[in-house]
Amino acid sequence: MPVALTVPVTATLVRMRGTDEGPPRCIALAGKVGQQASCTIYENRPGPCRDFAPFAALGIGDEGCARARRRHGLTPLGE
Ligand code: SF4
């Protein structure tokens, strides 16, 4: 993970730059949410990103995924 994409939280923990701003927008996100967006570091994305809605690519979301999609005016996956 390039250091320039992160913000230190503790001596051993970082977060993606932009995720602590309001509204949050990760620096690695490209495009416009709700239209076309993608992670520019997808193969190297952090653990929490890997854990979030792990079956979304198969069209299977979860509650967190549904909340995030609704926040951006999208219907939850599978509806
Ligand atoms: S999946 Fe990519 S764009 Fe989304 S929060 Fe994680 S690093 Fe950022």
Instruction: Write the pLDDT tens digit of every residue in 13-46.
Output: 999 999 999 889 999 999 999 899 999 999 999 9
User: How far is residue 52 CA from its own chain's centroid?
Assistant: 8
Q: What is the pTM of this model?
A: 0.87
For ligand 1, the distance from its centroid to the CA atom of residue 12, given in whole angstroms, is 19
Q: Which atom of ligand 1 is nearest to the CA of 27?
A: 8
Ligand 1 within 6 A of CB of 16: yes
* 29 strand-pairing partners: 39
66: confidence class by pLDDT, cuts 50, 70, 90: very high
Quickly state the pLDDT bin for 79 (edges 50, 70, 90). Answer: confident
Say what the pLDDT of residue 14 is. 96
In this predicted structure, what is the pLDDT of residue 1?
87
- Alpha-carbon distance of 27 to 61, in angstroms, equals 23
